[in-house]
Amino acid sequence: MEEGKEKDSGEIYSQRVRAGKRTYFFDIKSTRSNDYYLTITESKKRYKDEGFYYEKHKIFLYKEDFEKFMDALRQTVDHVKTELLPDVDFSSFDSREEDDAEGDTELKWD
Name the helix (H) or strand (E) containing 16: strand 11-19
pLDDT digit string (tens) for 32-59? 898 999 999 999 989 888 898 999 999 9
Show Cβ contacts of residue 88 under 8 Å, excluding neighbours closer than 6 positions.
81
Q: Which residue has the higher pLDDT, 101 or 67?
A: 67
The pLDDT of residue 4 is 40
Residue 44 located in a structural domain = yes
- Total number of domains in the chain: 1
With 70 as the cut, is the pLDDT of residue 75 above it? Answer: yes
Residue 79 located in a structural domain = yes
Would you say 56 and 43 are in contact if contact means Cβ atoms under 8 Å apart? yes
Which domain CATH number covers 32?
Answer: 3.10.450.700
- Could you tell me the residue range of the domain that residue 52 belongs to? 3-93
Residue 101 located in a structural domain = no
Please state, in angstroms and rounded to a whole number, the distance separating the CA atoms of residues 82 and 64: 29
